[in-house]
Structure 1
Amino acid sequence: MHDPIETFTSVTAAVADIVTTEPDPLAPTPCPDWNYAQLLGHVVGGDRLFARILTGQGGPPPKGARMAPDPDRPAPSPADYAASSGRLAELLSDETIRGGVYQVPVGTLPGTQVVVLRTVEHFLHGWDLAKAAGAPTGALARLADQVDGPAHGLLAAVGDKTLGERRPFGPPVELDPVPAGSEESEGADAASSGSGAGGPALDRLVAAFGRDPRWQPDPDSGYARVKEQFLGRDDVELPDGTRRGFGADGMRIGGSVFACSHRGRLMLKLPEEEVNGLIGAGLGLPLAKPGQRPMREWVLVPFDGAAGRRAERAYAFAHGNRASCQVLSAL
């Protein structure tokens, strides 16, 4: 039996590592209609609200109300997240506070269940933020079994309907088998290995609370954002629809593709060690022609909040390779 406060602090420590990646604040998340900045603002705002409730400094919002941050407000900083979650952990560590009963947005709960409620909220939204940010969820995967029992106990305590009407909770998602040999299957295999983006326990837990473990950002709008950041660069050839075949929609330097949309993901040319790192972390998939080995310097990643940063790395790598070739040709 794990100590609930230790579980809460372990979860928030894992999420703290996710938010330190500081991705594109406008990146879409699995939480419908909320971008990364809004979702992180929701989590930090929730901690501050619960701190006020636990200290008697103000009542909760009306039952069923959503804490939807202003879409134009900047995302809280990693320090804001650490401060708000740390303050809540400090309050919930007090046995007197845990012994109380509180009116919270989902109803009336004892302090012991408030700990679980905030743990589940951080866990699920931490997963949302990681998927949006392009950050690993391995730390959350290692905590999934620890969170699973209390999380389902919370559902039994307050009722599926009550939580199902509020974010971050929703109706359970059915997990369909992934066809063997597909790119999604390869990603799932990497995740299940323990070093990747998730694992069976994590998938089952987020699905039970209304998340699709295979959620990916929209590739069309994602690639449009990536291409936009390279507008105006004289050395970059943007796709104009005149090319045909593999890589026709790619961005090029000196005629060579460094980034391209491919089968719903962003295809990037990167140094081999970076490719291996992304695949090993469960953040990327290998690229290979049928019947051939994976290409050493190519990887497929989602169009998440890290896509722009990774495209810049591919641009720098391609630019460096081109400069090296020019030097060698002059010798």
Structure 2
Amino acid sequence: MTSSPVEDLAALLAVTGGLVAGVRPGQWDGPTPCTDWNVRQLVDHFVIGDRLFATILRGEAPPPPSALDPKVTDVLGDDPVKAQRTAAQDLLAALSEPGVLERIHQIPIGPVPGAGAAYIRATEAVVHGWDLAQATGQEPRFPDDLVQQVLDFTRAKLADIPPDRTPFGPPQPAPDDAPPLTRLVALLGRSVQEQNG
């Protein structure tokens, strides 16, 4: 277990970045568990999210909602790996500024302290990392202890998330003894019935 939400998020974003790097050239148009998005749009979604949160945490005006739609806005360019890494570094830098973790920030689902924003981005990194792994035949190697923290946070905050919490869906069944990652993605609407843990 690491010592701060920023370090935890950095570790999780690094795993997600590895999954982005593992996407093969012919896979970018393939389907994902987020049925509205292909692989490229899924990666666009979480890169856009990291950029959005960095902007908000710095106290800057967020872009218009249309700029947040991965079907409309492509921020990956010719180098998706670099785009993801740069967005992650920008987010971590914004979270590392003095006072940011304690201050309240207005994010799309409402006001949260910076530490809560870090956990929300951690949830996105892990769940969409799992989505990406499923779509591209990779193994999502997120540390169990960090995923357990994200799972605990998500369980506690789920009631605060709007009912239309796209791309997360209604909770799905998962074995009580399943690994934290399986339980987390099931909690957020992923079918894990065919997963062997």
8 A contact 1:66–1:166 mirrored in 2? no
Tell me the residue number matched to 1:69: 70
Alignment of 1:181-196 (within 5 A): none
Secondary structure of 1:165's aligned partner = coil
Q: Distance in 2 between matches of 1:215 and 1:69?
A: 28
Decide whether aligned partners of structure 1 residues 61 and 208 sit closer, same or farther in structure 2, where only a CA change above 3 A counts: farther
SS of the equivalent of 1:22 reads coil
Local SS of the residue matching 1:29: coil
Q: Which residue in the other structure is 2:9 paired with?
A: 8
Aligned equivalents of 1:74, 1:101: Cα separation in 2: 27
State the partner residue of 1:170: 169
Alpha-carbon distance, 1:93 to partner: 1.8
- What letter is aligned with 1:12? L
Q: Distance in 2 between matches of 1:116 and 1:78?
A: 22
Q: For residue 138 of structure 1, report the CA deviation from its aligned partner.
A: 2.7
2:20 alignment counterpart: 19
Q: What is the Cα deviation at residue 202 of structure 1?
A: 1.4
The letter for the 2-side match of 1:6 is E
Q: What's 2:139 paired with? A: 136
Cα shift at 1:39:
0.7
Rounded Cα–Cα distance in structure 1 between residues aligned with 2:145 and 2:116 = 22
By how many angstroms is 1:141 displaced?
4.9
Distance 1:171 1:34, change over 3 A: same
**In structure 1, C-alpha distance between the alignment counterparts of 2:8 and 2:185, rounded to whole Å:** 17
Counterpart position of 1:206: 185
User: Counterparts of 1:15 and 1:85 in 2: how far apart (Å)?
Assistant: 10
CA contact (8 A) 1:37 1:74 kept: no
Look up the SS of the partner of 1:69 in the other structure.
coil
Per-residue deviation, residues 117-146 of structure 1 (Å, max 9, x unmatched): 111111111111111111111335564223
Matched letter for residue 18 of structure 2: D
RMSD (Å), alpha carbons: 2.9
Contact kept in structure 2, 1:127 and 1:140, CA below 8 Å: no
Cα distance 1:94–1:86, how it changes in 2: closer, same or farther (>3 A)?
Answer: same
Separation (CA, whole Å) in 2 of partners of 1:17 and 1:200: 21
- What are structure 1's unaligned runs of at least 5 residues? 178-191, 193-198, 217-281, 283-331
Q: SS in structure 2 opposite 1:102?
A: strand
Aligned length: 191
Secondary structure, counterpart of 2:100 in structure 1: helix
Deviation at 1:9, TM superposition (A): 0.7
One-letter identity of the residue aligned with 2:125 = H
Larger radius of gyration: 1
Give the deviation of 1:84 after TM superposition. 0.4
> What residue number does 1:234 align with?
none
Separation of aligned partners in 1, 2:164 and 2:186 = 16
For structure 2, the residue ranges without an aligned partner over 5 or more in a row are none
The answer on 1:34 being equivalent to 2:37 is yes
Residues 75 and 83 in structure 2, CA contact (< 8 A), matched pair in contact too? no
The answer for the alignment partner of 1:112 in structure 2 is: 115
* Identical aligned residues as a percent: 35
Contact 2:175–2:183 (8 Å) recurs in 1: no
Could you tell me whether the CA contact under 8 Å between 2:44 and 2:70 is conserved in 1?
yes
TM-score scaled by length of structure 2: 0.83
Q: Which has the higher helix share?
A: 2
Instruction: Identify the structure with the greater strand proportion.
Output: 1
Q: Which amino acid aligns with 1:202?
A: L
Alpha-carbon distance between aligned partners in 2 of 1:74 and 1:26, rounded to the nearest angstrom: 16
**Which amino acid in 2 is paired with 1:18?**
L
Q: TM-score, normalised by structure 1?
A: 0.52
How far the C-alpha of 1:116 sits from its partner, in A, is 0.9
Indicate conservation of the 8 Å contact 1:38/1:71, yes or no.
no
Q: After superposition, what is the alpha-carbon deviation per residue over 1:26-46, rounded to whole angstroms, capped at 9, x for unaligned? A: 111111210000010011111
